């Protein structure tokens, strides 16, 4: 189902012309209304009239999360507060939160792109959508809510947490769509038995999962456990919230709503633009945002771009599923490691649950890694010897996949803390 065929299947030359026009307007707007950008552009010696279209985008300055923090709370807004109808923000686990503001038009555009996403997953007005992303400053709850409502679905604004009640209402209301983080979806799937439910009591058919990295292996796991088609929804509060991109039924990358968010991939070190297919940091310029328009915002998420048309008929550029963030990458004894690699290995092996936590420490100036993995309660092992053999198999598989020695400790089911939002996968004790 294609929500907005004119845009989603637009001829690429036409799309480029639309982006050119929008970029020119955007640059004039930020130069005249956001002192931060006027200063940045003056420093680079770039005038709005130097930007004639997308081909000039690399002349523009980058924006980083720190710039939002430095201008906390509303310093990068391009309109007066009377025109802002909504404020969201990041949870801000470290330091100040980052705040973003939306005009009425921004909210309309957000509703449009999230509706495109829900339609991409085959969701229609007949669906009952349980939104279990957190409602509040986090964009997940309200973002998914408005999108589903725009499609005409019956929306259940559950927010995160209270898993027993989530399952009760999922069963009683016959929810057909679950929207939450993949880690929370996994927790709900595993908790069904504890609360006396089985998947046969549920009418779920689609999952709209995002807000954290997850692997293809996890997608298959969730599809199997929940009897659904699982789709990946991506976004970030600085750019809009959920709905920047989404994968279609072919699951071969996420279609970016590039009429609103212009993507680039840049080298993490040099910040030079990289061609299609080469991995780097994903950067977005918001082409239509009024509240807090951003030039070349560096997300630090690692991906690649693909401009080939998709089998679904959409011409929108695709980004590869995010494997991690450049600032989440662990460097252990000179080897790069992403938590997603661990998830992949555990699910491939299929002998434990997918609940894990990685402890990083330093002893005698050497980095050490300990992976705690929960045993699968449906496949409990009887003897110590069996447990030792399983431990060794996991250690071996991790070593082959990551090139690192990781000590594995098997722990009892349900002993690793569950997340109702974004999961914490790594505890880096070196930082204490």
Binding residues (CB under 6 A) for ligand DLL: these are 90, 133, 138-140, 143, 210-213, 232-237, 241-242, 299, 301, 322, 325
Q: Enter the DSSP assignment of 320.
A: P
In the complex, least distance from residue 251 CB atom to ligand DLL, rounded to whole angstroms = 12
Helix (H, G, I), strand (E, B) or coil at 416: coil
- Whether 35 contacts 339, CB under 8 Å: no
Q: Considering beta carbons, is residue 19 or 340 the nearer one to ligand DLL?
A: 340
Question: Are 287 and 233 contacting, i.e. CB atoms less than 8 angstroms apart?
Answer: no
- CA pair distance 203, 226, nearest whole angstrom: 10
198, 276, 275, 284: which is closest to 236 by C-alpha?
284
User: Taking a C-beta distance cutoff of 8 angstroms, is the pair 327, 300 a contact?
Assistant: yes
Rg of the chain over CA atoms, in angstroms?
22
Q: Which is nearer to ligand DLL, 158 or 390 (CB)?
A: 158
Question: Looking at beta carbons only, is 77 or 234 nearer to ligand DLL?
Answer: 234
Whichever of 180 and 408 has its CB closer to ligand DLL, that residue is 180
Minimum distance from residue 402 beta carbon to ligand DLL (Å): 19
* Nearer CB in complex with ligand DLL: 327/377: 327
Distance of closest approach, residue 328 Cβ to ligand DLL, in angstroms: 8
243/245 Cα distance (integer angstroms): 5
Tokens of 377: 């309660």
Residue closest to ligand DLL when measured from CB atoms: 210
Question: Nearest to residue 211, comparing CAs of 177, 185, 173?
Answer: 185
Supply the minimum distance, in Å, between the C-beta of residue 303 and ligand DLL: 9
Q: How far is the CB of 379 from ligand DLL (least distance, A)?
A: 29
Residue closer to ligand DLL by CB (options 31, 286) is: 286
CB 179 within 8 A of CB 150: no
- The three-state secondary structure class of 390 is helix
């Amino acid at each position: 189902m294609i929500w907005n065929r004119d845009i989603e299947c637009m001829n690429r030359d036409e799309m480029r012309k639309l982006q050119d026009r929008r970029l020119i307007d955007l640059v004039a707007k930020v130069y005249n209304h956001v002192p931060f950008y006027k200063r940045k552009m003056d420093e680079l010696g770039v005038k709005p009239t130097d930007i004639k279209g997308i081909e000039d985008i690399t002349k523009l300055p980058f924006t980083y999360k720190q710039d939002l923090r430095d201008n906390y709370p509303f310093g990068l807004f391009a309109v007066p507060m009377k025109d802002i109808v909504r404020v969201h923000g990041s949870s801000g686990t470290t330091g100040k939160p980052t705040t973003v503001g939306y005009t009425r038009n921004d909210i309309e555009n957000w509703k449009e792109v999230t509706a495109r996403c829900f339609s991409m997953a085959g969701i229609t007005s007949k669906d009952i959508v349980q939104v279990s992303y957190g409602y509040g400053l986090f964009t997940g709850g309200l973002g998914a809510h408005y999108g589903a409502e725009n499609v005409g679905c019956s929306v259940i604004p559950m927010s995160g947490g209270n898993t027993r009640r989530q399952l009760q209402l999922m069963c009683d209301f016959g929810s057909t769509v679950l929207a939450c983080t993949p880690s929370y979806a996994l927790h709900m799937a595993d908790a069904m038995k504890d609360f006396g439910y089985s998947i046969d009591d549920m009418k779920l058919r689609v999952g709209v999962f995002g807000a954290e990295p997850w692997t293809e292996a996890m997608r298959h796991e969730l599809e199997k456990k929940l009897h659904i088609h699982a789709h990946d929804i991506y976004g970030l509060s600085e750019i809009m919230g959920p709905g920047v991109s989404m994968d279609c039924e072919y699951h071969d990358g996420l279609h970016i709503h590039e009429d609103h968010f212009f993507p680039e991939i840049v080298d993490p070190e040099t910040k030079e633009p990289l061609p299609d297919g080469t991995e780097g940091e994903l950067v977005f310029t918001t082409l239509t945002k009024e509240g807090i328009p951003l030039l070349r915002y560096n997300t630090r998420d690692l991906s690649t771009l693909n401009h080939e048309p998709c089998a679904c008929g959409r011409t929108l550029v695709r980004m590869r599923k995010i494997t991690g963030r450049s600032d989440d990458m662990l460097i252990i004894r000179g080897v790069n490691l992403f938590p997603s690699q661990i998830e992949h290995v555990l699910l491939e092996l299929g002998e434990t649950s997918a609940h894990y936590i990685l402890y990083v420490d330093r002893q005698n100036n050497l980095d050490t890694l300990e992976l705690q993995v929960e045993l699968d309660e449906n496949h409990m092992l009887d003897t110590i010897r069996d447990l030792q053999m399983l431990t060794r198999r996991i250690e071996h598989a991790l070593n082959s996949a990551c090139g690192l020695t990781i000590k594995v400790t098997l722990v009892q089911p349900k002993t690793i803390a569950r997340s109702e939002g974004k999961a914490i996968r790594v505890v880096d004790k070196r930082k204490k």
